Amino acid sequence: MPPETTAAQPASAPPVLKIMPLGGCGEIGLNMTVVECGEDIVVIDCGQMFPEEDMLGIDLVIPDFGYLRENRHRIRGIALTHGHEDHIGALPYVLPDVRVPVYGTRLTLALVRDKLRESGLDTTTTFMETKPRLPIRMGNLTVEWIPVTHSIPDSTALAITTPAGVVIHSGDYKIDPHPVDGRLFDFYRFAEYGEKGVLALLADSTNVERPGNTTSESAIAPVLDQMIEDAERTVVVACFASALHRIQSVMNIAARRRKRVFVSGSSMESTIEIAAELGYLDIPRESFCPIEDLVNTPPEDRVILTTGSQGEPLSALSRMALDDHRQIRIEPGDLVILSSRIIPGNERAIFRMINHLFKRGARVLYERTAPVHASGHAHREEMKSLINLVRPTYFIPIHGEMRHLTAHRDLAIEMGIPPSRAILLENGQAWVYENGAATVQPLFQAGRTLVDGKGIGDVHRVVLRDRQHLAQDGMFIVILAIDRSSNRVVAGPEIITRGTVYVDENADLLNRCKEVILETINSSVEESRGEWTVMKTEVRRAVKNFLKREIRRFPVILPVVVEI
């Protein structure tokens, strides 16, 4: 008798895959992406952004973590690509609510620990150090860190293997054939994944408007060497604290030229200490000196490494420019090198600082006047190389403003990606892959959270609007003392104004405004005089119309009524 046979059971469909940017799609900075497959979530990066010009008084901008809070029980970890602030800076704000392990390379985690120390989170967070090519299982997702070249050591891309297919996230990268530290871009691993098949590539779009290839970091060293050799007095080199390749080059040059190196800026001091301890920075001890020794060193023998290349008001270089630094004074003939990119939005602050440095008699070189900076982000030819290596089925540009994302999508289409598979995502949208088909859906909460002092997310748009209003037109306060029994004005109106008119030169205008206020009150019906909420509205309207007619200005008007 033949054995019984059963009909083959259809294989169950893989769980739904979702890719959701919480930040970094539509802006420079704020990088954060959610990869969700079934019941498991991996968060890629957790970055911050510096406030834009219209965000008056705001210290920091971070992503809206609402979706992560709601789904915290499904998050298997936060996977970091590298240690820049726009990728790790928001961790102190999410980890108190979302207690999950943080994964990253050795230097990245050391910088994160240092950042979390102030809030005490360094002792309560689980840190998982990763190694290149050693995948880590996170629920039904497997994550592998792939070495790339960037402006900070230990930078990586991520290959995330899901039941639906492989997703590669480029992180921030360039293809530098001659990296200062000898750690090469891992062409082979990208090509291996490309051979096996990659479902989606998420790729950095920052420099898509720049043709050709990015300048190698090694090419900057000879330029700096010549500048330092030719300098007749003190050389000040300003760069990001995390630009360890640049810092290493300056230290090597100074040692070779028998000059002494001094460091100013707490973030740079801390980063250099961490990097040296871990072996990512080789400090020539014979030339590296404490800042206290500066006064005993001849100007021609000084090289100063400092922060503040973006014109930050309280940075070391800004203080030097204003002659407000405790230990360093810029003198005529000194050379100041801003060895960094001018980040869009920071131009005004940077050029204000540069102007002050020129007033001190310094010679100032920066990106637009000399080849003193090499970008850490890929140019178009390198972007093409990554697409060719990976050969993804779907392409999703990330890390950039909408103009960057659009141009990167168009480049991918040029490279043979079908237009229907080159996807533009904005924060708040989800790329959903289910049963072999992909759609874009508005699925989840996303946006920006503003940090103002100790307040996190408590600054409403109305508050920002009021700050802008005050900055543009000033404030006009009207104070009245009212007899409670008779509802008559017994004192005032007194007018206090800031930022609208100069009081000493506009006494006549203010007196006429007082007459308008009294006329408004006296002409109102008896009953309404007792309703001071109503009367405040009438006074505000009268003052607004008067100032509009007389001086065409629209200050914030605050009537204050004191009952006696």
* Three-class SS of 83-131: CCHHHHCCHHHHCCCCCCCEEECHHHHHHHHHHHHCCCCCCCCCEEECC
Verify whether residue 377 is a known catalytic residue: yes
Token pair for 318: 């800004």
Whole-Å CA distances, 268 to 179, 234, 255: 21, 19, 19
Which parts of 334-488 are beta strand (E)? 335-338, 363-365, 394-398, 430-434, 437-441, 448-452, 455-456, 475-482
Tokens 């490309």 sit on residue: 194
Alpha carbons 245 and 217: distance in angstroms, whole number: 7
Question: Dihedrals φ, ψ of 134, to 5°?
Answer: -110, 95
Name which of 170, 191, 187 is nearest 81 in CA terms.
170
CB proximity list for 310: less than 8 A, separation 6 or greater: 340, 342, 343, 346, 349, 350
The one catalytic residue in 204, 373, 404, 408 is: 204
The one catalytic residue in 356, 377, 379, 404 is: 377
Cβ(464)–Cβ(55) below 8 Å: yes
> Residue 386: in which H helix or E strand, if any?
helix 380-390
Q: What angle do CA 447, 442, 51 make, to 5 degrees?
A: 15
Alpha carbons 430 and 35: distance in angstroms, whole number: 10
State how beta strands 235-238 and 335-338 pair. parallel
Whole-Å CA distances, 453 to 93, 314, 456, 509: 13, 16, 8, 38
Token pair for 7: 């009909």
Q: What angle do CA 37, 136, 76 make, to 5 degrees?
A: 45
Name which of 260, 522, 505, 220 is nearest 371 in CA terms.
220
Token pair for 205: 């779009």
Measured on CA atoms in the order 191, 197, 202, 203, is the torsion positive or negative?
Answer: positive
Name which of 148, 200, 142 is nearest 171 in CA terms.
148
Alpha carbons 154 and 478: distance in angstroms, whole number: 60
Residues carrying an active site annotation: 204, 377
